[in-house]
Amino acid sequence: MLQPTILLLKEGTDSSQGKSQIISNINACQVVVDIVRTTLGPRGMDKLIHEGSDVTITNDGATVMKLLNVVHPAAKIMVDIAKAQDEEVGDGTTSVVLLAGELLKEAKVFIEDGLHPQIVSRGFRKASQVALNKLEDIQINLSDKTNDEKRDLLQKCAETTLNSKLVSGYKKFFSTMVVDAVMTLDEDLDKDMIGLKKVTGGSVTDSLLVKGVAFKKTFSYAGFEQQPKRFEHPKILLLNLELELKAEKDNAEIRINSPEDYQAIIDAEWHIIYEKLECIVKSGAKVVLSRLPIGDLATQYFADRDVFCAGRVEEQDVRRTQRATGAAVQTTVHNLTPDVLGTCGEFEEIQIGSERYNLFKECPGTKSATIILRGGAQQFVDEAERSLHDAIMIVRRAIKSNCVVGGGGAIEMELSRYLREYSRSISGKQQLVINAYAKALECIPKALAANSGLDAIDLLNKLRQKHAQAKPETRWFGVDCLGGGICDTYESYIWEPSLVKKNAIASATEAACLILSIDETVRNPRSEINNQALPGPGPRGPPMMGRGGMMPGRGRGVRAFRGRGGR
């Protein structure tokens, strides 16, 4: 007897499941990995991403992944781990994507041979834990170093990060600046207290560090040039208040019977604004900043009384000024007390390139620093900002963790060797999976060698031979991307905080296991257009690249592409 057909899902719903779906997801992730693979290392290539009128040139993994606009549901996980790595430690974004992709590539062979995905995931998690434990044992703790030695360490870590960036030719200049900026901060090392400002024009070496708060001069009215531009130990008032004559609100209605009534209304408005300005001057404040506009009347009033003012200051700059100077943001100017006013050692306004900047130096509150970047093209300055962000994050993490490991793929090769030996003590299928994990770790030195134009196979064989000796003096051998060949990365000062590697290994393993656990994808129709036959590969076809980036066969980008060319 035939069983009746049961319609469970909405008509037009597409469902893909089983082994083919897992392999399809792995293939989609491999496309993402292939895009960013060439950006790894000091000899890595840059990506030019053109979107509308915006042009971005970068080799930062997290930036590339974000600008690709990946819409494939499984491949989006690779974007997420790159973003998480960037927010957590600031560097290693390309490495974490490469490692996750290589783990999936190794897992694909097992899946095709019929091994259950959960067995593979269990083996990967076991190998990850063993690798992290080994990393804890061999990392170099620098807590007993002197202050000068620690500073030298931090500069080497910053230089290693900047090696692969567009500003690598100025790595000594910028690494010193980054370390000075981070060392200026308080013990909590709040990254928000380091400002990065960009001024196009001039040479890269014209960039400067201000130990305090600096921001670009805001829009100002006539009378601003008559105000003093330098103070020593001024009182600073921060406002969230408008200081200008405002038009009446919409739909306001005032009934008057004589011209004298109208004049009384005008006089009341002027009386209110003058009362506010008098309260500010009587408070003793010499520098007045407001998030909201300060009009031409107030500007001239302050100029006549030797008070500096700036309106429409960005909220982030106000917040940094508040914490650095000790001032409290006020929403009224009545009953101002001395404790709500901040101060600094020196305030001045200077010309930097074509812009004027307000500088607050020698602040008594929370320590702050501002790096003002100079350079030619806007794209260069933007990439320099991203590079210094990574370096700042790395220096902060190095200070907090006090532990480093050798870069250049050295730590990956040492962990790979250890896992191969460990796998021989395991029986069953897990031995194969852990051995595959060890092989996947070699993708980092392999990519470094390939991107440097070196023979990757030859270098990997040399590194395996060195690490096979299992001696302390050989465990830090890695790829010498600049000199060509292999070198002791620790002796060559190619150092990275161990936290970067820990986070990358853990994130890549979790991402790989998550993708392997997905055996079915259900796509619900979102509109009638989805139910129409679309040209090209079907819903189970390979990932497509359209205007929106990488996508499955039925995505918004495909419909947009079809609509544009349908004419």
Helix, strand, or coil here: 16?
strand
Angle formed by the axes of helices 93-112 and 429-441, nearest 10°: 150
Catalytic residue, from 382, 390, 480, 488: name it. 390
Q: Which amino acid, one-letter code, is at 442?
A: E
* Beta-carbon contacts of residue 273 (< 8 Å; ≥ 6 apart): 243, 244, 245, 297, 298
Between CA 494 and CA 481, with CA 446 as vertex, the angle to 5 degrees is 40
Taking the C-alpha atoms of residue 381 and residue 404, their distance in angstroms, rounded to an integer, is 30
User: The tokens of 285 are what?
Assistant: 């404040």
Active-site residue, selected from the candidate residues 58, 94, 160, 325: 94
Q: Is 455 a known active-site residue? A: no
Which residues are paired to 50 by β-bridges?
A: 55
Token look-up 């100002």 returns 220
Beta bridge partners of 230: 348
Half-sphere exposure of 429 (CA within 13 A, CB side): 15
- Residues present in the chain in total: 567
Whether 521 is catalytic: no
343: annotated active-site residue: no
Listed in sequence order, the residues at least 6 apart from 513 whose beta carbon sits closer than 8 Å to its beta carbon are 121, 124, 125
Please choose, from the candidates 509, 394, 543, 551, the residue with its C-alpha nearest in 3D space to the C-alpha of residue 121. 509
**Residue of 294, 324, 337, 326 whose CA lies nearest to 312:** 294
User: What residue has token string 């650095």?
Assistant: 324
The residue whose two tokens read 């890549």 is 508
**8 Å CB contact between 412 and 96:** no
CB proximity list for 528: less than 8 A, separation 6 or greater: none
In eight-state DSSP terms, residue 294 is B
Q: Which of the following is catalytic: 60, 86, 317, 382?
A: 60
Is residue 60 part of the annotated active site? The answer reads yes
Backbone angles phi, psi at 141, to 5 degrees: -90, 130
CA distance linking residue 290 with residue 315, whole number of Å: 9
Q: Which position among 56, 58, 93, 325 bears the catalytic label? A: 93
Give the active site residues: 60, 93-94, 390
